[in-house]
């Protein structure tokens, strides 16, 4: 990929640190990062984790583009495909589908990073269950999780996960294990810093406070801002299909979703379309233009398009009604379609990826047409007999955020036995759980 100007300049510890923290909303314990950079004995090690639940969407470009800057600063970056975390988060990742969803995420993230010109040769993919549930490391991990659980109250664990774990009226105990495991992952992935959205802040704070209690070092934490969804209020989320655009959505779906996206005239705050330009399209254009961002908006009534190199100018023009929704939306659609085109092409050309997508996110069964039962009266033979029950209950249905619902949902989600659960959460990846270069 064309190397950005910033990447070429990030040679000194100060330049590297400036690039690492660029456009982040907050950094906790920056001295940890500065210490590693100033010693210059090894690269800074960072990990970003994603629970393998609903399909990755365009909001994922925000951390991916930031990961590109970490790589440009010479960092080692691990991407944790957190299958066990998805399983713990109110059963968003049913155990029957976990393995296929890990494969799907690897395909999707790899294709998306290539689409925005990120050099993935120095990335390492790690599957959570490879060290959390398997072999000697899995046994050590479990014991350290028990140790950590003795130093964190149930209240603090619940509070830590409140902005990340799906909230329900009677949460399962697994929702308290989720933040403890995310903290412990920092030790087992051997990193200096964890990267994530600002919604992870409470978990990051828990990690800083709790890990030293059982003899582990505190890490730095890097937080990117959250991109608003395409509808009014809330973030871009897998649980709300109208708030997000999937990485493999066909062009007609992308156009339809952006056309009805929340984008009121002159309103900058909470405008998901403008935020998408700020956090995705402008940074992506910089990777293609030797470090110089550039976003063009064609106008019907003017020969020259509006050209933007920063979001401040866009906000100013939008507030002044110089830039309007009817011109902004088509420009965003065109720019996003250009990014998504190679992802969609890769998906359509790869039969294995398509098969994995069908297994990981099986479509809901077509509704059965019920035959109208005629009321023939009580004297009709067999009228007093109850209707037979379905042999396997009502079955299950997959939801957009990765959950399954129905009479058989619990069994599908947790497995029929301990042996089955261990087998399905004991997947081995190349190189003892680590895979370089984004190979699917």
Are β-strands 123-127 and 76-82 bridged in parallel, bridged antiparallel, or unpaired? parallel
45: which strand partners?
Answer: 76
Contact 100, 415 (CB under 8 A): no
Residue 403 has pLDDT above 90, yes or no: no
3-class SS at 404? strand
Residue 45 has pLDDT above 60, yes or no: yes
Strands (E), 329-403: 396-398
Chain centroid offset of residue 429 CA: 20
DSSP state of 92: S
Q: What is the pLDDT of residue 434?
A: 62
Mean pLDDT of 189-204: 96
Residue 92 has pLDDT above 80, yes or no: no
Q: What is the pLDDT of residue 173?
A: 85
CATH number of the 241-351 domain? 1.10.240.10
Smallest CA-to-CA distance from 43 within 10, 67, 7, 74 is with 74
Residue identified by tokens 């950094």 is 27
Tens of pLDDT, residues 68-85 = 999 999 999 999 999 998
Q: What is the pLDDT of residue 226?
A: 86
pTM of structure? 0.82
Contact 125, 81 (CB under 8 A): yes
Tens of pLDDT, residues 106-125 = 999 999 999 988 888 889 99
Joined tokens for residue 387 = 């209707």
CATH number of the 5-228+427-436 domain? 3.40.50.620
The radius of gyration of the chain from alpha carbons, rounded to an integer in Å, stands at 24
The rounded distance, in Å, linking the Cα atoms of 50 and 234 is: 19
Residue 436 has pLDDT above 90, yes or no: no
Q: What is the pLDDT of residue 128?
A: 95
pLDDT band at 278 (very low <50, low <70, confident <90, very high): very high
Domains of the chain, by residue range, sit at 5-228+427-436, 241-351
Are β-strands 45-51 and 193-197 bridged in parallel, bridged antiparallel, or unpaired? parallel
């Amino acid at each position: 990929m064309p190397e950005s100007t910033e990447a070429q300049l990030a040679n000194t510890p100060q330049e590297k640190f400036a690039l690492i923290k660029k456009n982040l909303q907050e950094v906790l314990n920056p001295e940890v990062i500065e210490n590693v950079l100033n010693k210059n004995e090894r690269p800074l090690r960072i990990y970003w984790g994603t629970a393998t639940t609903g399909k990755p969407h365009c909001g994922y470009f925000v951390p991916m583009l930031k990961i590109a800057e970490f790589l440009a600063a010479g960092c080692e970056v691990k991407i944790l495909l957190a299958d066990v975390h998805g399983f713990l988060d109110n059963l968003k990742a049913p155990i029957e589908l976990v393995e296929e969803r890990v494969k799907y995420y690897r395909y999707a993230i790899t294709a998306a990073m290539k689409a925005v010109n990120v050099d993935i040769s120095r990335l390492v993919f790690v599957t959570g269950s490879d060290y959390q549930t398997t072999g000697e490391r899995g046994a050590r991990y479990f014991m350290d999780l028990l140790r950590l659980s003795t130093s964190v109250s149930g209240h603090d664990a619940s509070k830590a996960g409140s902005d990340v774990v799906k909230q329900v009226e009677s949460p399962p105990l697994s929702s308290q294990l989720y933040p403890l495991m995310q903290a412990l992952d920092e030790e087992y992935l051997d990193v200096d810093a964890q990267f994530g959205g600002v919604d992870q802040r409470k978990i990051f704070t828990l990690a800083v406070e709790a890990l030293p209690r059982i003899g582990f070092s505190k890490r730095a934490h890097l937080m990117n801002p959250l991109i608003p969804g395409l509808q009014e209020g809330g973030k871009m989320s897998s649980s709300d299909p109208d708030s997000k655009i999937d990485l493999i959505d066909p062009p007609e779906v992308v156009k339809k979703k952006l056309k009805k996206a929340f984008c009121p005239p002159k309103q900058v705050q909470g405008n998901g379309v403008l935020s998408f330009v700020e956090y995705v399209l402008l940074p992506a254009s910089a990777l293609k233009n030797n470090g110089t961002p550039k976003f063009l908006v064609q106008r019907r009534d003017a020969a020259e398009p509006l050209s933007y190199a920063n979001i401040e100018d866009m906000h100013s023009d939008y507030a002044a009604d110089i830039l309007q929704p009817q011109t902004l939306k088509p420009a965003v659609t065109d720019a996003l379609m250009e990014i998504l085109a190679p992802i969609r092409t890769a998906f359509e050309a790869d039969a294995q990826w398509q098969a994995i997508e069908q297994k990981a996110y099986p479509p809901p069964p077509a509704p059965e047409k019920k035959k109208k039962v005629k009321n023939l009266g009580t004297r009709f033979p067999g009228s007093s007999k109850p209707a037979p029950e379905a042999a396997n209950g009502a079955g299950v249905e997959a939801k957009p955020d990765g959950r399954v619902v129905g009479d058989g949902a619990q069994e599908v989600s947790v497995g029929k036995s301990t042996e089955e659960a261990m087998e399905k959460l004991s997947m081995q990846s190349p190189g003892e759980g680590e895979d370089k270069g984004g190979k699917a």
